[in-house]
Amino acid sequence: MDRTTLQDSLYPECPIRNILARMGDKWSLLTLYTLAQGGTLRFGALRRAIPDISQKMLAATLRTLTEDGLVVRRLYPEIPPRTEYSLTERARTLLPHLDALIGWAIEHSEAILADRRAARGGD
Residues of the chain with pLDDT under 70: 1-12, 122-123
Q: What tens digit of pLDDT does each residue of 21-36 get?
A: 778 888 999 999 999 9
How far, in Å, CA of 32 to CA of 60, rounded? Answer: 14
* pLDDT attached to residue 113: 94
Residue 71 has a pLDDT of 98
Reported as a single tens digit per residue, the pLDDT across 52-68 is 999 999 999 999 999 99
pTM tops 0.85: no
- The vertex-102 CA angle with 61 and 15, nearest 5°, equals 55
Domains located in the chain, CATH noted: 15-88 (1.10.10.10)
3-state class of 76 per DSSP? strand
Q: What are phi and psi of 119, to 5 degrees?
A: -65, -25
pLDDT at residue 5, rounded to an integer:
53
Q: In degrees to the nearest 10, what's the CA dihedral of 21, 27, 33, 38?
A: -140
pLDDT at 1 (0 to 100)? 47
Say if CB 67 and CB 18 are below 8 A apart.
no
Beta bridge partners of 84: 42, 74
- Residue 112, pLDDT score: 95
